[in-house]
Each structure stands twice: as structure tokens, then as C-alpha cells.
Amino acid sequence: MLRVIKTEEKTAKQMMIIRLAAFVLALAAGGLFILALGVNPLKVYGTILSGAFRSKMAVQATIKVMIPMLVAALGVTLAFKMKFWNIGGEGQIIMGAVFATYFALYHADWPFFILFPVMLIAGIVGGGLWALIPALCKVRFGTNETLFTLMLNYIALYLVAYLQEGPWRDPAANGFPKIPSFAASATLPKVLGVQMGWIVALVLTVIVFVYMRYTKHGYEISVVGQSQATAAYAGMNVSRIVLRTMFLSGAVAGICGMLQVSGSDKTLTTGVAGGIGFTAIIIAWLAQLNPFGSLVVAFLFAILEKGSSVVQSDFGLSTDCADVLQGIILFFVLGCEFFIRYRFVRDNARKAAAVKGGEG
Amino acid sequence: MKKLLSAMLAATMALTMLAGCGSPSNAPADNGTPAGDKGTAEQTGKFAPIAKEDIKVGVIHITDPAEGSGYTYTHDLGVQGMQKNLGLEDSQIVRKINVNDSDATAIQTALEECVEEGCNVIFATSWGYMDYVEQMAAEYPEVLFAHGTGYKSNGENFTNYFGKIYQARYLSGIAAGLKTQSNKIGYVSAQGAENGECTSGIDAFAMGVESVNPDAKVFVKVTGNWFDPEGEGQAAEALISSGCDVIAQHCDTANPALAAEKAGVWAIGYNSDMAEKAPGAVLTSTMWDWSVYYTKAVEDAINGTWDGSNYFGDMADGLVKLAPLSDLCTDGTADAIKAAQDKIMSGDWDVFDGKTELETNTGEKVTLNGADYGTCTWYYRNVEVA
Amino acid sequence: MAQQNTTPNQAEPSAVGEYAIECRGVTKRFGTVVANDGVDLTVRYGEILALLGENGSGKTTLMNMLSGIYHPDSGSIRIAGKEAVINSPEDSMALGIGMIYQHFKLVDVFTAMDNIALGTPGRRLPARELRTKVEGICKGVGLTIDPAKRIYEMSVSEKQTVEILKVLYRGQKILILDEPTAVLTPQETDKLFAILRRMREQGCAVIIITHKLGEVLDISDRVTILRRGKYIDTVNTAETDEQQLTELMVGRPVSLEIDRPEQGELNSILKAVDLTIRKPDGAIAVDDVSFEVRTGEILGVAGIAGSGQKELCEAIAGLYPAEKGAVLYRKENLIGKNPREISRLGVHLGFVPEDRLGMGLVASMGMVGNMMLKTYDAPKGPFIDTAPAREQAEELVDKLSIVTPSVDTPVRLMSGGNVQKVLLGREIVSKPSVLITAYPVRGLDINSSYTVYDLLNEQKKDNVAVVYVGEDLDVLMELSDRIMVLCHGKITGIVDARTATKDQIARLMVGGKEEA
């Protein structure tokens, strides 16, 4: 008989070993899955790596995939540090993108150096306001933020669908429902071959790190996240902190949306968030809510994503298989958190027999 | 790693050279590749020839060819045909499947990966890819891009390809017009009147119907989506319940034909021969043979004759076809179709010749040139929106 | 181990009763921590054994092994004379062991009867039969309870009675109670002890876990003492006294006297006037109370748990809204202001709340982060300044001999005593003029408790107005200058601690009128 018991706190080194072991196990389990599909798993893993790094262009593409993941994870980090379960990254990305797109479509005549900051601010406002709605309801009426933020995702998504079917539909598209492509003034230039969003993402990483670690606001977030009673005890205005932090969390997600439309997609589509709002949660969590950790984890996810897509075309594996593979890796890596806190012990068989004698 | 790579490369070269010996003479015979491509073939190319073993073709599909019928399947058959005609290796074809045309990032990633994997000719099959292909073509001027069904091109490395599918639709209209007893013919359309591709097809079909049955009317039901298995079936059911006894379609799945079979009425298929899917209902199908175009395009790249012009193939080229008529057709259908087809093939007559005045269902008089099918936003006089 | 005893023979019971439980050399390790190290424990049928030890001495671990939650790494446990391995609480119950935890395991919406019958093997008895049976058991040990009453309508003491009935109903002859008197009034404690004595007469074996020496001497036949996981000794209760037990428990002679320095300058500094506080569920927590807090003295607050102490403290600290009345600090009314507004008024209010890690401290932060909890906002600009907090933390570590690997180690990893030193230390560092402490020694070992008393007395000598909300009447009477007694949110009396008697206060705690 196996039993679960809580273990003492592990050292950082032990935790690293457990996580590494989980990763290796995940590769092994994923390998079995690939083998079952009749493909050599070693080759597939090799392809994932080479697919992400084989050429300058591949590396650039990998970094491009990483940008939205990283920025969205930074947004999630702010809210999660406060234990505000913001599952609405998806919607906040979309609303940031929608607000930014407005200026891209209707003020394309402005020069880039004006349009860029305006779109950036629009993205911040769009994402921030969208996140403020559930925060307000939480503070005012005690609503459940998890469900609320989740539901807002769908509203945002269908708003984009409405815009591309209706008011913002490209008249030149022969009836195909799409929003026009942005003018050059509304698109981000490339720096070192990748859209300049990567600079924004890196700067944001540092800003979020400093904000959380060294500012009064960051301190307040930590305290509120630990215990609202403690925060009130310390004289903090918990409601204001919740509202402010959620605005910022949404704002960062909004920046992610803005970077996507203006740096990558060069138009607004319903696929602008494409699940990144959810992936970001996993990234932020795996990174233990550390912004630089998110940088590393987002990069690993980008490798997996980019590499899997090459696996799809090279081995004829469906993209769904790549998703299964990602799922397996996540399952193991997240599952190992269990072993950081608990362990199994085996009961002594001899003693188990003895209990019968003790009865009666 | 490097050793392995060079070994594989050498092997590939050896194989392609062997295959290359036999191919040029085989290809036209097998697939009716156009002998002289209407005024474009003799121009000099704008790009240097690419050795056949260096050719790498990228294809972006909106769904998965493994579906076995419909749009993506038909395009992939074309790619396979091209591969066979030219004797290319499997490794020379890179397929990106399930690339959602409303996910900009996915489209870009797919296109970029094709470039990155060394593709020098890239076919993007779905309408929604157009703008991204345009952007990529500007970014990678040495790579040849071709986009299906759209209207944009740059006259250099970004071209557009499509065909006179309306010719086949006109012929299929004859089969439907002769078959109907209720004089009500249903037509499931992916897009509304503002979409020229759909609308011109409906008009041609309606004209075909009218040529043999002036009393019949064509009722159009729009799904609003190129790929909507459920909606397409439902639209067909709605048309059938309103009295239509032949269901034609311009959408990606065989579901309208299957709905017709279930209801005991008849159907006209599209893209592939849907008699395979619904043998109890399908009279005939309007079909594409994309291998005709894909073979030509890749050959142009190999021969250095890629001239940056758009491709608009027709029935005479073999790009557009009508599937064999089934036994369900009314007697005399074959003859009527043959007569019309001969006129079209000879080049004496076309459905849309740009001169003949046509009457719309709002009573206006218009003309339409086939190449301008995209501008067609009016329905022919015997068409009604259901 | 037992051989180390100075008086080994006295420790063995002279009665002829059979051993109900016989633990020999039981050892349990958690990682590198040895929670139980070769512990011997025996209890006979017809005997009450007190298990005595400070927090962290391994009492609970030992009991958890008897109830099947943990397994000993080595050593043997014999139940009713037979070698036993207890794999689960089910095994433990089957062996005739009944556990009564501090947190009751009852279904709130069920009646007493339903709870008693719940989980017993075999077919459920019809209601009437069940009732008769329960009433019969009650009569046997002198319990009174309405079997049809629902748990949520019961007082703490009644709930405990139901727990005891559960054990008796199952016919379990071994009863283990974990700190059963912590939640009871003195009167209720007496009642409980009467029941336990009846059970002893009927041949039950009872183990009572406690750290209250008075109770040990009152109820038990023998006392087993644990210290830091080690078995120290077992003594016959009749042959020992508080001083010896304390020495065994703490490991060295300890003075049990609590200092009570002379009062300082007695100036009224804080005044509650007609203060009424209502809980969110509408119940009255504090009912129209008026009192004053004076500098240079310790005002003790006595009362059964839940008599409004928590709400009163939090309302003064600006953390709980009041319905009516005022709390005046000099001329300012503190009611309606939040803690920061209160501190902006120049009110130096120190508050050590009952919930140390959930309110007074940030559990996941180290001492440094916690030192600046109330002052982080002081420096200008958007950034925090950790340097002064670090300095303060290090000073505090030295001054109060706080045991922690570093000032950045999360405080939740520190022991209860050290946590309280951090909290109380921080409040004292802020130089308060009023210091409110709620249950500041709860769960602390004797050494830490005395450190707390000393610190409070020091504050009193510095002319700080100290409020001490406590549960141990002996401590309250020795430490405080005045004692205010609360019952159901009302003040039933404010007495001079130097002259009041324990009986008098106990009566006030249950609502009796103050006798002149």
C-alpha cells in the first residue's frame, strides 16, 4: 500500500533535480507516444531542436513566437502574484489589439513615431480596462474573478468577429470577412530580423521585475497576495491595490495584443490571441512568477512550438500530435510540483499483517 | 550530422536525375498538360532556372487533405499529380496543413517555415492567405509565391491562379435543368452575392439551367463560411424542404450532396467527384484538376520561364472538368452537355464573353468578362435568394 | 530511556489493571527532524494519564501514531496486550481507540444522534432505539445532552460532549483527548473532568494531552513528560508538584512567578464609549461597552473565546467597523478610520493580532519584509527601502534571541515562539503609546511565554498602555493590573487583579454579576 505524505521544504537544488527528472520523464513518455505513431522519437526531438535553431531565420521565427508568450506571461504574473486568478489574458490581449487597431485603421496617415506610442497606449488602455471590469465587480460585489475573466475572453473574441464581419470589414476583400492590412506607418519595423516587439518584451521584463521587487506597489501586491487581512492590518487600501494591479496586468496583456497586430500580424484577426492568454498562465506558473524565469520558460515554449510545427511538415504528423506532445511535457512538469511537496511511502508488509492480530 | 546530410543530398540528386530522364515525355500525355499556354508560355522568364533536384515546393492547406474529399483534398491531388508528372521526391514537397485562414500568426509561421525549409515555389491555396503572401513575397523576392482564388499579384514573384470553373458550372446546370421536376433547384453557396467567385458560378449554373429549362428557378442559400460541415448540410436540408429537388453547391464538404441523397433528391457536386460520397444522388460534379496548373508553375520555375503573370485556366486546358455523368441523369443530358461543351472547347463561345448582354434578377442589363469574375455581384434573372 | 529516571519504580502503576496501550521505544523522524525519539508510554484500563510537554515536544506526533495517521519508524505499540500496527484511523478505531481532537470532527447540520451513529459498522438503529441507547450511555457517565439537537446550535462544550459520546457509543475503551480544555470555561472544564473520572471508574483508559499544570495535577493519575521529542519521565501525580513538572518539561529550574512591576503614570489615553460592534452575519459581537485604557499599566481582558475580544481589538485598530459609539484617543475618534489614517493622526498604536501569520505578518516573507509592513510607505518616491528594515530585523534577532537561519527566511518556517517575537518585536520597535495584544502566548512554550511577559512589563514600565487579551486566568491574574471581563460582548466587570479571586472572575466570565 502506498501512502502520500507531505515532505519538508526542499532545497533549490533538489527542486531543480526533480524538475529536470520530470522533463526527462516527459520526453520518455512523449517518445513512447511518438513510437506508437511509428516514428523514431529521437529524430522527432532532434527535429524540434533543429527546427527551432537550424538557421538564422529559424531562430528569428522562434524569438517571434516567444514575444507574445513572454509579454502575456508578464501580465499574468502581476495578477497571480496578488492571487487574483486572471484567466482573462486572452480577452485582454484581444482588447489591447482592438484598441490599437482602431488607430492603425483610422489614423494611418500619422507618422510611425507618433502612431507607435499612440497604439501602445491604446493597447495598454484596452487591455487594462478589460481587466478592470472583473476587478471592479470583485471588489464591489465579491464576484468570482476566475469565471468572470474567462467569460470576458469570449465577449472580446466575438467583438473581433463582429468588427471583421461589419464595421471594419475590408471593402477590397471581395466579401471575404477580414480587416484590412495595416499601413506601413502602423507596423513595427524589424530589428535584427525580428519585429521590434522583442525589445519591448525585454524592457517589460526588467520593468515588471523591478516593479514587483523594489517598489511600494510591488510590496503591496505581495502582501495582498499573501493575506488580505495582513494588508488591511498594514493600512493598505486593498481594493485600490486590486484595481490598480489588475489594470496593469491587463495593460501588459494589452501591449501583447498591440505587438501582435502591429508587429506580427499586421492586421487584426480573431486568431490574434490564439490561446496565448492561457499558455501564459502555464509559463508564469512554471517560472514561479519570476519575470526572468518567464523569459526562460517562454523561450523553451517557443522552441517547442516552433519545432513542433517543423515536425508536422517533416514527418507528416498532424499538428494535433504536436499538441499532444506539448500536453505530455506540461503534464509531467506540472505534475512534478506534487513531488516537490509530497512523497510516497510504502507501508511495511510485515506490519500490515500484524494489524490483523491486534484486532478484537 | 553534416556527413549524413551530404550523403542524403547525394542520394536525392541521384534519384531525381534518374526520375528526371523519363518525365518530360510522360507528363503531357498523362494529364493533358496544356500544349501552348494561351500567350504566356513563349515569354522569357523573370527568374533564373532552378535545377529540378533543387526545387522544393511548399503548400499551405487550410484543412487536412486526409479528409478525402472537398477543397483541400482536390488541391492536394493536384500537388501529388504535379509531383508525379515531374518526378519529384517526397522530400521536395513541404505541406503545412490545418493553417487557419483567420489566424494571421499561423499563416505567417507556415509561410516562413516553407521559406526556411528552403522552398523556392510556394502555393497558398486559400483565399484568406492573400495579404500575408503579398507581404512575404515582398520580403523574399527570390522565392516564387502563387496564391489561389484571390486577386492580388505583383507581376514578379507573387502571382495569382484560378480558372474558369463557371464553364463547368454552366454544363452542370444543363444536367440539373433537365432533371428537375419541381422546377426548383437549390444551390448552397459559401458566400453571399458580394463574393464574385461564388456569384459568377451561380450565374453560370443558372444560365445552364435556363438553356434547357426556362421555367426552372435557382434558389441560393448562403452559409457564410468556406468550411462549415454542419451549416452546409443544414442549408441543403432547408432548400430540400422548400421543394428543391436538385441541390448544387459551392462549398467545401460533400454534406449538401449527402443531405440530398438522404432526402431522395439529386445533387451536383463540387471540387472532387462526389458520386463517390453520395452515389444515390449525384448527377455530376464540377471539378478542378489543379495538377494542370501546379505542373505548369513548377515547370516554369525549373525551365526559367516563370514570367510573373497570373494564371486563369479553362476547360480546354484541362484545369476545369465535369465529372462523368451518372446513370441518374435524364436521357439526353449527355448530348445537350456535349453540344455546349464542344462550343466552349472550340473557343467559339464562352459563358461570360464580355459582350453578350445578360439580364439580372433585378432587371438590369449587364455584361461580364470571364477574367473579371471577381467583380460579379449580381444574380442572373432566374436566381432567387432563399 | 526509562532507566534514566531518578525514581523509576514510582513510575510504574501499582494497580493490577491491564495495559490498554503500551508504547516502547517509539521513534518517528521527519526528514532530519526526530519528532519522537524512543518514547515509552503506558496507560492501563481504569487510569487517566496526562501527556505533558511544551509545543513541539512531540505529543501530537505520538498521538497521531496511535490514531493511524503516522507510522513509527521503529519501536513497538501494543494495544490491549497485543502487538498492533495501525495503518489508518479505521484500524485505530477498530482497536478501540477514540480520539478527540481540538477541532471537532462533526457534521454541523446533523443532530447529535446522527453524528454519533455516523460511520459505525452494521445497520443503523431505528431512531427511537438509537435515542434510548444514547440516553443510556449519557446516564452512565453523567452526561446531559439532547440527542436531537443539531451541532450548529451547540456550544463548544456540547460539541465536545458529542465527541465523547461517539467514542462511548462505539464501545471504545481508550480515549485520547488533545488539549480538551483550551476551548472550555472553568465551569465546563470541571464538568468534563467529572465525566472523565466516571469513565475511569467504568474501566476506560484515558490520555489527556495538555500543557496546563493545574489540570494535570487535578485530573491525572500519572504524568508522562516529553521534551523536544524525547521521553523524559513518567511520575505519579500524587507524588509531584508544579515545580517538578515544569522542570521536567522545560529541562531546567524555572521560576513560575510572573513579574508585576508597579504601575507607572496612570493617564487615560484610550477611551471606548458606548461601543457596539456587529458581525457581518448580524450578530452582536460587542455590546455597548465603555472602558478606558491607561498608560503605565496592563489591562487584562478575560472571557470565554468568542466573547467579542477579537472584534473589540480589531475595531480599535481600525480593522473592524463599529455600529455605534466611539474609541477616543485623546480627543480623536478612531472609529471609521483605517489603520493608516489612525497612524497619520499621530496615534502610536501597536497591535499584535490573534492570527499572527494570517494578519500580523506576511507568512511568505522574511523578517526584513515583515519589519517594513507598516512603514514601507514612509520613504518618498515609488521605491521601498529595505536597508532600515534589515537593520531593525538584525537588531531584533540579537535582542530577542530569535532563532532563524537568516533574516530573509520566510517567517512561516520559524517556530511559533520566534514568530511571536518577530511580531511583538516589530510592534515594540515602532514605539507605541498603546499596545494591544491578543492571545500573545497562545501556543508558545514556557520560555517564549516568559519572554513575552517580560516584554509587556518593559512596555508598561515605559508608560505604554498595554492591553493583554488572554485565556489563562492564572496568567491574567499575575500579569495584569486590572482585568476586564467580557461575556457575550458585554463587560460584566472590571476588577483589580491584585485583589480579585479566580472564582470571582470565572463567575463574571459566564455572565454573573460582580459582587461588591
Answer yes or no: do C86 and A217 touch at CB < 8 A: no
- pLDDT in the model for residue C148: 86
Say whether residue B45 is in contact with chain A using an 8 A CB cutoff: no
Closest by CA position to A148, among listed A268, A250, A258: A250
| Residues C143/C165, Cβ–Cβ less than 8 Å | yes
Answer yes or no: do B97 and A58 touch at CB < 8 A: no
Closest by CA position to C493, among listed C291, C285, C269, C270: C291
Task: From residue B278, give the alpha-carbon distance in Å to each of B266, B268, B328, B343.
Answer: 10, 10, 12, 30
Instruction: Check whether residue B357 and residue B248 sit in a common domain.
Output: yes
Cell numbers found for residue A155? 465577449
Is residue A320 in a domain? Answer: no
- Determine the residue of chain C that is closest to A232 in CA distance: C319
Is residue B313 in a domain? Answer: no
Is residue A169 in a domain? Answer: yes
| Last residue in a domain, options B138, B163, B188 | B163
**Chains linked to A by 3 or more Cβ pairs within 8 Å:** B, C
Considering only CB atoms, which chain C residues are within 8 Å of A345? 71
The answer to which of A111-125, A335-349, B25-39, C343-357 has the lowest mean pLDDT is B25-39
- Mutate which: C67, C359, C374, vs A, most A CBs within 10 A: C359
Q: Which residues contact B328 (CB under 8 A, 6 or more apart)?
A: B179, B266, B280, B281, B282, B283
Dmax of chain A from CA atoms? 91
Residues spanned by the domain of A185: 67-303
**Chains linked to B by 3 or more Cβ pairs within 8 Å:** A
- pLDDT in the model for residue B293: 93
Is residue B3 in a domain? Answer: no
Distance from CA of A246 to the nearest CA of C (A): 18
Give CA–CA dist C148/A344, Å, rounded: 43
Instruction: Check whether residue B255 and residue B139 sit in a common domain.
Output: no
**Looking at chain B, how many residues does it have?**
386
Inter-helix orientation angle A238-259/A276-286, to 10°? 120
Instruction: Check whether residue B141 and residue B233 sit in a common domain.
Output: no
Is residue A50 in a domain? Answer: no
Answer yes or no: do C355 and A226 touch at CB < 8 A: no
> Do the two domains C1-96+205-255 and C268-509 of this chain adopt the same fold?
yes
Closest CB to A176 among B64, B109, B127: B127
Distance from CA of B151 to the nearest CA of A (A): 9
| Residues B368/B376, Cβ–Cβ less than 8 Å | yes
Say whether residue B110 is in contact with chain A using an 8 A CB cutoff: yes
Say whether residue B191 is in contact with chain A using an 8 A CB cutoff: yes
Does 3.30.70.20 match the CATH number of domain C1-96+205-255? no
- pLDDT in the model for residue B20: 38
Domain ranges of chain C: 1-96+205-255, 268-509
Interface of A with C (CB under 8 A): 1, 7-9, 214-220, 222-223, 226-227, 229-230, 232-237, 345, 347-348, 351-352, 354-355, 357-359
Could you give the residue ranges of the DSSP H alpha helices within C95-148?
Answer: 112-117, 127-141
The verdict on ipTM greater than 0.85 is no
Is residue B249 in a domain? Answer: yes
With 70 as the cut, is the pLDDT of residue B40 above it?
no
User: How many domains in chain B?
Assistant: 2
Chains B and A touch (3+ CB pairs under 8 A): yes
| Residues A317/A37, Cβ–Cβ less than 8 Å | yes
Cell numbers found for residue C463? 508608560
| Last residue in a domain, options B163, B187, B203 | B163
Cell numbers found for residue C273? 464609549
- Mutate which: C77, C365, C373, vs A, most A CBs within 10 A: C373
Q: Within a 10 A sphere around the Cβ of B2, how many other Cβ atoms?
A: 6
Average pLDDT over residues B327-351: 90
Is residue A148 in a domain? Answer: yes
- pLDDT in the model for residue A346: 63
| Last residue in a domain, options B132, B147, B163 | B163
Is residue A217 in a domain? Answer: yes
- pLDDT in the model for residue A9: 65
- pLDDT in the model for residue A174: 66
- pLDDT in the model for residue A5: 65
Q: For residue C98, which amino acid is it?
A: G
Average pLDDT over residues B333-346: 91
Answer yes or no: do B100 and A267 touch at CB < 8 A: no
Query: Cell 518525365 appears where?
Result: B23
pLDDT digits over A5-42, tens only? 666 666 777 777 887 888 888 889 988 988 888 888 88
pLDDT digits over C231-280, tens only? 999 999 999 988 888 888 888 777 777 888 888 788 889 999 999 999 88
The CA dihedral of A233, A239, A244, A250, to the nearest 10 degrees, is: 120
Closest CB to B113 among A181, A310, A316: A310
Say whether residue A260 is in contact with chain B using an 8 A CB cutoff: yes
C117-133 burial, b at 16+ Cβ within 10 Å, e below that, comes to beeeeeeeeeeeebbeb
| Residues C505/C473, Cβ–Cβ less than 8 Å | yes
Distance from CA of B222 to the nearest CA of A (A): 12
Q: Please report, rounded to a whole number, the percentage of residues in chain C having pLDDT higher than 70.
A: 96
The region, left, alpha or beta by phi > 0 then psi within -120 to 50, assigned to residue C51 is beta
Answer yes or no: do C351 and A233 touch at CB < 8 A: yes
Answer yes or no: do C338 and A235 touch at CB < 8 A: yes
A220-233 burial, b at 16+ Cβ within 10 Å, e below that, comes to bbbbbbbbbbbbbb
Is residue A359 in a domain? Answer: no
> What confidence category does residue B44 fall into, taking pLDDT thresholds of 50, 70 and 90?
low
- pLDDT in the model for residue B1: 43
First to last CA, chain C: 55
* DSSP-assigned letters across all residues of B32-83: ---SS-TTTTTSPPSS----GGG--EEEE-SS-GGG-SHHHHHHHHHHHHHH
Decide: residue C353, CB within 10 A, 0-12 exposed, 13-18 middle, 19+ buried. buried
First to last CA, chain B: 62
Chains C and B touch (3+ CB pairs under 8 A): no
Give CA–CA dist B172/B286, Å, rounded: 7
- pLDDT in the model for residue C372: 93
B129-139 burial, b at 16+ Cβ within 10 Å, e below that, comes to bbbbbbbbbee
Distance from CA of A138 to the nearest CA of C (A): 18
Does 1.10.10.10 match the CATH number of domain C268-509? no
Looking at residue A262, the DSSP 8-state letter turns out to be: I
Is residue B94 in a domain? Answer: yes
| Residues C427/C371, Cβ–Cβ less than 8 Å | no
Instruction: Check whether residue B327 and residue B207 sit in a common domain.
Output: yes
Query: Cell 504601575 appears where?
Result: C263
Closest CB to A358 among C83, C359, C374: C83
pLDDT digits over C290-299, tens only? 999 999 999 9
Cell numbers found for residue A291? 519575470
Distance from CA of C422 to the nearest CA of A (A): 15
Considering only CB atoms, which chain C residues are within 8 Å of A355? 84-87, 91
Is residue A213 in a domain? Answer: yes
Instruction: Check whether residue B262 and residue B124 sit in a common domain.
Output: no
SS3 (DSSP) at B273 = coil
Instruction: Check whether residue B267 and residue B170 sit in a common domain.
Output: yes
- The pTM of the full predicted model, rounded to 2 decimals, is 0.79
Low-confidence residues in chain A, pLDDT < 70? 1-10, 174-175, 319, 322, 345-360
Helix-strand-coil split of chain B, %, nearest 5: 45, 20, 35
| Phi, psi angles (nearest 5°) of residue C496 | -80, 120
Q: For residue A228, which amino acid is it?
A: Q
Closest CB to A230 among C33, C362, C383: C362
Helix-strand-coil split of chain A, %, nearest 5: 75, 5, 20
Residues spanned by the domain of B110: 52-163
CATH number of the domain at B274, please.
3.40.50.2300
Answer yes or no: do A357 and C372 touch at CB < 8 A: no
Cell numbers found for residue B62? 487550410
Decide: residue B352, CB within 10 A, 0-12 exposed, 13-18 middle, 19+ buried. buried
> What confidence category does residue C213 fall into, taking pLDDT thresholds of 50, 70 and 90?
confident
Say whether residue B30 is in contact with chain A using an 8 A CB cutoff: no
With 60 as the cut, is the pLDDT of residue C6 above it?
no
Q: What number of H helices and E strands is found in chain B?
A: 10, 15
Give CA–CA dist C81/C42, Å, rounded: 11
C417-435 burial, b at 16+ Cβ within 10 Å, e below that, comes to bbbbbbbbbbbbbbebbbb
Closest by CA position to A178, among listed C130, B125, B132, C405: B132
Instruction: Check whether residue B169 and residue B75 sit in a common domain.
Output: no
SS3 (DSSP) at B15 = helix
Give CA–CA dist B270/B70, Å, rounded: 7
Strand order in the sheet with C324-329: C284-294, C268-278, C324-329, C332-333
Give the number of A-C residue pairs with CB atoms closer than 8 Å: 106
- Determine the residue of chain A that is closest to B193 in CA distance: A175
Say whether residue A90 is in contact with chain B using an 8 A CB cutoff: no
> What confidence category does residue B225 fall into, taking pLDDT thresholds of 50, 70 and 90?
confident
- pLDDT in the model for residue C19: 87
| Residues C82/A358, Cβ–Cβ less than 8 Å | yes
- Determine the residue of chain B that is closest to A261 in CA distance: B104
Say whether residue B151 is in contact with chain A using an 8 A CB cutoff: yes
Is residue A249 in a domain? Answer: yes
Q: Which segments of C343-475 are extended strands (E)?
A: 349-352, 434-438, 465-469
User: How many domains in chain A?
Assistant: 1
| Residues A267/A178, Cβ–Cβ less than 8 Å | yes
The answer to which of A5-14, C40-49, C369-378 has the lowest mean pLDDT is A5-14
Give CA–CA dist C251/C231, Å, rounded: 12
Closest CB to A271 among B103, B117, B374: B103
B315-347 burial, b at 16+ Cβ within 10 Å, e below that, comes to bbbbbbbbbebbebbbeebeebbeebbeebeee
Cell numbers found for residue C503? 472564582
Instruction: Check whether residue B118 and residue B149 sit in a common domain.
Output: yes
- pLDDT in the model for residue C168: 86
Looking at residue B143, the DSSP 8-state letter turns out to be: S
Considering only CB atoms, which chain B residues are within 8 Å of A178? 102, 128, 131
Q: What number of H helices and E strands is found in chain A?
A: 14, 4
Helix-strand-coil split of chain C, %, nearest 5: 35, 25, 40
| Phi, psi angles (nearest 5°) of residue A348 | -70, 125
Q: Within a 10 A sphere around the Cβ of B118, how many other Cβ atoms?
A: 14
With 80 as the cut, is the pLDDT of residue C227 above it?
yes
| Residues C248/C233, Cβ–Cβ less than 8 Å | yes
Give CA–CA dist C270/C289, Å, rounded: 13
Distance from CA of B108 to the nearest CA of A (A): 8
Say whether residue A187 is in contact with chain B using an 8 A CB cutoff: no
| Phi, psi angles (nearest 5°) of residue A89 | -55, -40
- pLDDT in the model for residue B31: 39
Give CA–CA dist B338/B323, Å, rounded: 13
The answer to which of B81-85, B126-130, C15-19, C346-350 has the lowest mean pLDDT is C15-19
